[in-house]
Every structure is written in C-alpha cells, then in structure tokens.
Amino acid sequence: MIFDEGTLGIFTFILLGVCVWIFILWQNTRRIHTQLQHVAQQQSLLRHDDSARDLCRAVHLLQPTAHAGVDYVIRHDNPGDAPYLAEWHAAAPQPTREQLLHALAKVSYVEPGKNYASLRQAEYPSVGDQLDAAYKARQGNDAQQAAIDVLIHQVKEKYPKSVECL
C-alpha cells in the first residue's frame, strides 16, 4: 500500500476542508449575486422614475448612510400610485411616513442631479457674510470666520456628497 492510515486520514481531512471552503465561497457568491441584482433593479427604477428618485432622496436626507437596494427597497407597483418603502434592512430606524413627507417636501424643489448642492446652497451663510468674515480674519479677528466655518461644516455633514439616488 502506498499510503498508510495516518497519511490517508490527513488527505481526507484536507479534502474535506477544501470542500467546505468551496461550499462557503459558492454560498457567498450566490448571496452577493442576488444582492447585486437587487441593487441593479433599484438603480434602474431610480433612473427611470422621478417619483421613486425623490423618495430615495428623501430617505437619503433622513438616513445619509442608507443605500437603496442594500439597506432599503423602493417599490412603485402602479403608475398612478406613489412609490413606497417595501423593505427596510438598515440598522438605523425606518423613517416614519410623516418624516418622509417632510423630507419629500424639502427635496421636491431640487432639480435632478443637484440634490446635495441645492440643499447645501439654501443653508450656507451668504457669500457676503463669508467675505466679511475672511476680511476680519485677515485683520486678526478670526472669531467670525471660525463661526462661519462651523456652520459650513454642519451643512456639509447634513447634506453629504453622494451618488446615491443618481
């Protein structure tokens, strides 16, 4: 016999380990493939449906770290009906209907492709105030400039740049 019992046992153990590893990789590949299909379906809906895109922007305004297709799913079953949140998977709490309506009102005036920029611009300090603060900072009084910088930072955190919801 070429292999003794110990060597055969080791080969069997290694082969079993490789089979388990391949099975785990196969399962993960299937799960990732399914998740990518969901994301692609959501992105297709958001590209072609303005009302679904507005709902996505409203959700993103309320939960900036939530991503369509991964953390939540938007459905728009009938053209006459409004889109809705069909599933919520995020760790953050799901926005209530009232919160969504308020956020929808906020993002409804935003032109497509300008969501974060328009929202930021509406809340930034005026250019005149920023220039005045910069002038005073050059003269040695940087208190107003620090306050303006804090306001700008808060607005940038409130409305982060994102490719979410196109």
Angle of the 97-107 helix axis to the 50-62 helix axis, nearest 10: 110
What gap in Å lies between CA 66 and CA 29, rounded to an integer?
23
Following CA atoms 126, 131, 135, 136 in sequence, which dihedral angle do they give, to the nearest 10 degrees? 10
Q: Return the CA Rg of the chain.
A: 26
pLDDT at 76: 87
pLDDT at 110: 53
Q: What is the pLDDT along the chain (166 residues), one digit of tens a residue?
A: 577 888 888 999 999 999 999 999 999 999 899 888 888 888 888 888 888 888 998 998 899 888 888 889 999 888 788 898 989 988 989 999 999 999 888 887 655 555 677 778 888 898 899 999 999 999 999 999 999 999 999 988 887 775 556 4
Q: Residue 30 to residues 24, 33, 35, 42, 160: CA-CA distances in angstroms?
A: 10, 5, 9, 19, 32
What gap in Å lies between CA 84 and CA 117, rounded to an integer?
25
Give the global pTM: 0.54
Contact by Cβ (8 Å): 100, 84 = no
